[in-house]
C-alpha cells in the first residue's frame, strides 16, 4: 500500500523535463563528486525547493537538487503527508530527499519509502527554527553526534541510498569536528556544512569552519552560506577545498546563477511562468518566486506594485506589459 501511494505521488507530473526522461543517463551524487571539481547544488528550502522550481534550476546548471525538509515521522505515518510533501517525476534527477528526524527508525523508514524514487537522503542537522529544535530536529542534533551516527547507519542499511547530513556549525568547533567524524564513520556519503551557528542569520558564513570540516574527514564536503555567483563559488572552493557548493537565497534570487548569469535573465522568468502554468503551482508559490527573481531588476516603485498583486491573471498581465512575457 505504501509503495502504491508513493507511486501515485511520484508520477503526478509524468515526464517533466524533455531530454531527461525515464531511463535516460544522469550522474548520481557520488558520480558527480568524482566527475566534477565543484558540484553545484540547490538547497533544501521549505516552501521553495519543490518540484516546479527544481525543474527550472536543472535547466541552468544545477547538478543536484534537494526537496524541502520533510518531517519523517508524519511522512511514514500519513499517506496525506506523503502526497503533500513529496512529488517528483521522471526528469527530476538526481534528487536528494531531506528529512527531519529525531529517531533512527523514523529516518530509516522514510528513507526506505523514497528509495525507489531518489538518489540520496539527507538528515537535516541545521534548521535553527525554534519549533524544529524543540522537537529534537534540525540544529538540535549538532550536539548529539551519537544519535546522528545511529540515524545515518540505519538509513544506509535500510535504504541502500547514499545518506548525507547538512549541519550548522557548533560554537565550539571541536564539537563540529567530532560530529562530522562520527557521521563519516557511520557511513555518511558526504557532509554539507552551513558556516553559521544556530544563532547567526545575516552574519557572513564562516568558511574557516567549512575548511576545518573538510580537513577532518575524507568524504566530500559541501559549502553552504553566501553562495550567490561564480565568483563566490571560486572563492569558497579556493578557501575551503570544498567538493561542492549549495545555494539557497542566491538561487532563489537568480535560478540561473549556476549558468553564469549575474541576475535572473528574462528568459528564465519566462520559463518559470511556463512551468508554473503547466504544473498548476499555487498563486502564492508562483508569485513569491517571481518576487525573488525580479528583485534585482525591478525599480523600488515597481516592486511596490508587483509585490502586492493578488491573482495569477494580474501577475501575467503585469509581466506582459512590463517584460513582454506572454
Nearest alpha carbon to residue 124 among 75, 65, 67: 67
Active site residue: 42, 125, 127, 156, which one? 127
Q: Which residues contact 265 (CB under 8 A, 6 or more apart)?
A: 256
Quote the CA–CA distance of 240 and 229 in Å, as a whole number.
17
Residue 194: in which H helix or E strand, if any? strand 191-194
Residue spans of alpha helices (H) in the chain: 2-10, 29-35, 51-58, 72-77, 79-85, 104-114, 130-134, 145-159, 173-186, 207-216, 230-240, 249-253, 266-279, 283-294, 300-306, 312-323
Is 42 annotated as catalytic? Answer: no
Strand-pairing partners, residue 42, are 65, 247
Is beta strand 95-100 parallel, antiparallel or unpaired with respect to 244-247?
Answer: unpaired
Residues with a catalytic annotation lie at 127
Amino acid at each position: 500500500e505504501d509503495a502504491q501511494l508513493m507511486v501515485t505521488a511520484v508520477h503526478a507530473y509524468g515526464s517533466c523535463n524533455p531530454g531527461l526522461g525515464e531511463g535516460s543517463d544522469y550522474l548520481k551524487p557520488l558520480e558527480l563528486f568524482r566527475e566534477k571539481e565543484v558540484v553545484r547544488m540547490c538547497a533544501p528550502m521549505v516552501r521553495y525547493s519543490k518540484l516546479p522550481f527544481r525543474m527550472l534550476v536543472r535547466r541552468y546548471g544545477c547538478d543536484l537538487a534537494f526537496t524541502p525538509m520533510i518531517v519523517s515521522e508524519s511522512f511514514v505515518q500519513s499517506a496525506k503527508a506523503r502526497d503533500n510533501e513529496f512529488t517528483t517525476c521522471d526528469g527530476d534527477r538526481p534528487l536528494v530527499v531531506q528529512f527531519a528526524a529525531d529517531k533512527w527508525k523514523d529516518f530509516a523508514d522514510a528513507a526506505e519509502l523514497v528509495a525507489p524514487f531518489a538518489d540520496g537522503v539527507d538528515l537535516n542537522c541545521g534548521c535553527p527554527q525554534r519549533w524544529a529544535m524543540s522537537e529534537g530536529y534540525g540544529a538540535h542534533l549538532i550536539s548529539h553526534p551519537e544519535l546522528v551516527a545511529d540515524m545515518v547507519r540505519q538509513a544506509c542499511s535500510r535504504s541502500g541510498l547514499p545518506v548525507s547530513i547538512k549541519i550548522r556549525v557548533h560554537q565550539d568547533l571541536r564539537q563540529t569536528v567530532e560530529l562530522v567524524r562520527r557521521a563519516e564513520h557511520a557511513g555518511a556519503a558526504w557532509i554539507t556544512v552551513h558556516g553559521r551557528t544556530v544563532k547567526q542569520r545575516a552574519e557572513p558564513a564562516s568558511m574557516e569552519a567549512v575548511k576545518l570540516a573538510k580537513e577532518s574527514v575524507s568524504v566530500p564536503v559541501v559549502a553552504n552560506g553566501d553562495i550567490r555567483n561564480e565568483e563566490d563559488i571560486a572563492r569558497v572552493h579556493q578557501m575551503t577545498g570544498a567538493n561542492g557548493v549549495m545555494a539557497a537565497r542566491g538561487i532563489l534570487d537568480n535560478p540561473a546563477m549556476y549558468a553564469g548569469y549575474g541576475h535572473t535573465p528574462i528568459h528564465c522568468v519566462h520559463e518559470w511562468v511556463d512551468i508554473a502554468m503547466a504544473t498548476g503551482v499555487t498563486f502564492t508559490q508562483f508569485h513569491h518566486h517571481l518576487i525573488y527573481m525580479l528583485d534585482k531588476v525591478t525599480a523600488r516603485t515597481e516592486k511596490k506594485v508587483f509585490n502586492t498583486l493578488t491573482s495569477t491573471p494580474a501577475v501575467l498581465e503585469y509581466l506582459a506589459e512590463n517584460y513582454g512575457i506572454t
